[in-house]
Structure 1
């Protein structure tokens, strides 16, 4: 039947037609891994007689249909349910606030421990290990269930049982533990110090004005570093009232801030942020890029890959074309939080330049485009894990360049966190093991070693010195002397 192409998720036949639930095409960040975002879409009813579809209900999470095809149970966001008679179209809201449920915590916790164990038995990647351990992990901790008195203690029990398999990515997250909402502190994207009874702005993180989540709250003001903050929301700052205290509970709000001294002040209206990590991350990347460019006379490029998920994918392609068009490249995998896109990024990095596209007018471009025409080096550390482990190891395995830093985290058995327990707790089972021709399964619980071991020591952090990055710069500059570039002749 003629319906447009959509992301259809639930298609059910009804009398004289078909119900179709489809979701909009959108980014996946809010649904990734442990984020709790729920997709909402539209239900359309396609009428076989009229040969066309009409909007039936919007903002729907999912729906079910009764056995006689006469009633729908529609779930909307915030766990709102609607019972609907299909023909004629009649609604009846289901008031869940009147529904009282008696919960016996001990029985619920017994069920949760048992379900966690069964999920491991069904999904853990190694059938041999599951059979070897048998029911022992469950029976060992089942004995302690009657001694559990709080939900926190149940978490300990579940995690200890998961730990019997000695495998990474065995998580227990959420549930009744997280039902209390925290109060956020409004963020201004600054560092400050208390000196001579004044709060002095020592650093303003400007971020990236083109990206809403990286835009400094002070971007459109003339506030500058070394200015003094005298008050926030009309409350004067002193030894007991610091900026963070006065911004408690004012995240993502428009606040007033006064800058000046005892003689003269100026008031500003700014909107605070809930989280300034992206501002600080942009500062980290741009500082390193500038440092590498200046120290090498713009000969070497620098890219940082924060993870192997959506953020890492976006960050890579955000600056790769600018950084790859130089005589060398530093690929920084330190602090990589893992994900699943390492294959896509490594495929791009592995492009070998074999020619050029030469127009009569315009810009000469390399073939393949964005191929590197110089030596590369990878940077890694103990905080690069999961697909960050894998990306680092394959960087070496593919011969893209040497890796400098410290041994990586060592967790390469992947997960698919979709199943929740009774109280909405997410438990994961290591499902997807990683095998390579040189180390077989040896990366799990070990990681991958760098070719050149360099560790940033505590004293280096205190003086803002990056020995690993300096070593990478020296290595690439040295390698450039012997690298056989392909230049247009």
Structure 2
């Protein structure tokens, strides 16, 4: 990818992912490949010379100068564009690797003297740039000497000027210029730059651009039977009457909604005002009011730690020892009373050490002080508590036979939480996969394929329990729970679960939005739109899921009253179904025959 011609037209330089060195998982026999990119050159003519020829190893005699040989550094001189001739016969045999270590290369550029690229050891450089990567470092490599060097680190992007003499850098929100041959970068001064802004003309351009992007990138060229030019004329009349960017956003949204397709989003651009968030400290607790004494008590304390994201509830730290039922009497020597909102006492205290005065009785006599650091949000603590409460409820209802795994999305959330619950429950007789509220992301098969590893043989050894092959095989009866709030990848999760025959699906029909978006298209004012550019169909060629959803095998909704009392009807139905399968079809390991006796 990222091919470019050298300035003399003799070679094409490109990046290719073809240097494989495995990295092994610390928990199971799995491998991934990182930093697989190399930089390569292809000589275009059969009689052409290598871009990296051998250099003479002889010392120069007298005043003679040693000649490197080869093409003039992808060079030549500036001026008229070179004539390019390509001999396609045998062209793949004329590919060679440049002597540059493997890495995560992006954004090649070349001038007469040097090759440039971005690289970074940190970040995600996968096929779809999922999760992205941060700033990268800019490198150059001399086409003549074959030596490389780092020019600048931590930049967001760069461009080489048309004459190849200057590099324009974007770094930390600023623009800098530096000589292409190296040297210090200097800020591009834009203080006196003035731009005359015509909002109405800009909105017209944005409307037309949004219409064109849908026309060019929407997955179905027939636009679902819509007369797309006619729709442009229809909504253009409204766009001409827009009085603000919010009007325009609404109008574009109505236009692309005519496609009757999910994932057609439009986001506003020119935001003029942004409210400063209020810094409010939170302890990860629920409170009740003692009306008689006008005091707050801790009614519930969230203690479940999120080890992966390194978020620990403030009151879970050893030595604090605040119990549910204790009174919160003072915060930093300020009396706390229940006739005032409890969070108002924590304004401005997130991330700071705070002194709490607490007691098991509604009095300062015998009270004690503890130091805590309130968090800026407690949503993660409540989420982890919900997960662990569900796991414990399933464990209790099944007598320890069934495990519980929650998948919040089909992306980073599940990628982070899945290992915590999967690796510790592979030996359960049953598993409940909870896909409710799943926000989607990418293909969920990355999780399901682990759940489908079945034991095909076993290892035995002395003084150890026998082990299945593969080591983390799952031989459990399974069920999946879903609901109407699961969409996109959250739709695909139960669809694939059913297709693989992994077990029954329980809950309510899913959202019904399963098309894909490869890019968020940026508009001139910083707003964005999406144009769904791919859609799912099954092995029979039938369109599935989009605008339909996935209907469960067992339809059951959450009973709100019972849920408020701590009973999840969907979750307990799944326990009932899986327990029945365990009873009907018990799974057990085979007993090996007596050890052979050789005499």
Equivalent residue, structure 1, for 2:422: 320
* Contact preservation (8 Å) 1:302, 1:331: yes
Residue correspondence of structure 1 range 336-347 to structure 2 within 5 A = 336-347=438-449
CA distance in 2, matches of 1:366, 1:93: 62
Candidates 488, 495, 500, aligned match of 1:398:
500
Any unmatched runs of 5+ in structure 1? Answer: none
CA distance in 2, matches of 1:8, 1:162: 36
SS in 2 for 1:287: helix
Candidates 25, 43, 54, aligned match of 2:138:
43
Displacement of 1:211: 3.5
Residues 287 and 205 (structure 1 numbering): CA distance in 2 closer, same or farther, change over 3 Å?
A: same
Displacement of 1:250: 4.0
CA distance in 2, matches of 1:166, 1:234: 59
Candidates 404, 408, 412, aligned match of 1:302:
404
Candidates 149, 155, 159, aligned match of 1:60:
155
* Contact preservation (8 Å) 1:213, 1:278: no
Equivalent residue, structure 2, for 1:367: 469
* Contact preservation (8 Å) 2:332, 2:356: yes
Any unmatched runs of 5+ in structure 2? Answer: 1-97, 592-599
CA distance in 2, matches of 1:50, 1:426: 45
Residues 385 and 143 (structure 1 numbering): CA distance in 2 closer, same or farther, change over 3 Å?
A: same
Structure 1 residue 211 corresponds to structure 2 residue 308: yes
Displacement of 1:26: 2.6
* Contact preservation (8 Å) 2:122, 2:133: no
SS in 1 for 2:534: coil
SS in 1 for 2:423: helix
SS in 1 for 2:263: coil
164-173 or 268-277: bigger deviation: 268-277
Candidates 374, 385, 399, aligned match of 1:283:
385
Candidates 21, 25, 45, aligned match of 2:122:
25
Structure 1 residue 129 corresponds to structure 2 residue 228: no
CA distance in 1, matches of 2:117, 2:188: 23
CA distance in 2, matches of 1:53, 1:181: 47
* Contact preservation (8 Å) 1:332, 1:379: yes
CA distance in 2, matches of 1:314, 1:378: 19
Which TM-score applies when normalising by structure 2? 0.76
Count of matched residue pairs: 485
Residue correspondence of structure 1 range 212-227 to structure 2 within 5 A = 212-220=309-317, 221-227=320-326
Displacement of 1:348: 1.9
CA distance in 2, matches of 1:295, 1:127: 52
281-290 or 242-251: bigger deviation: 242-251
* Contact preservation (8 Å) 1:38, 1:61: no
Higher helix proportion: 1
Equivalent residue, structure 2, for 1:387: 489
Candidates 165, 177, 181, aligned match of 1:83:
177
Displacement of 1:342: 0.8
SS in 1 for 2:255: helix
Residues 228 and 69 (structure 1 numbering): CA distance in 2 closer, same or farther, change over 3 Å?
A: same
- Bigger radius of gyration: 2
Structure 1 residue 246 corresponds to structure 2 residue 345: yes
Structure 1 residue 333 corresponds to structure 2 residue 428: no
* Contact preservation (8 Å) 2:139, 2:150: yes
* Contact preservation (8 Å) 1:386, 1:413: yes
State the structure with bigger RCO (CA 8 A, min sep 6), 1 or 2.
1
Equivalent residue, structure 1, for 2:364: 263
Residues 393 and 91 (structure 1 numbering): CA distance in 2 closer, same or farther, change over 3 Å?
A: closer
CA distance in 1, matches of 2:140, 2:414: 40
Equivalent residue, structure 2, for 1:348: 450
Residues 191 and 2 (structure 1 numbering): CA distance in 2 closer, same or farther, change over 3 Å?
A: same
Equivalent residue, structure 2, for 1:413: 515
Displacement of 1:59: 1.0
Equivalent residue, structure 1, for 2:63: none
Deviations 1:80-108 (A, max 9, x none): 11111234624331233432322221111
CA distance in 2, matches of 1:173, 1:256: 43
Displacement of 1:71: 1.0
Deviations 1:62-87 (A, max 9, x none): 1111122211111002x211111234
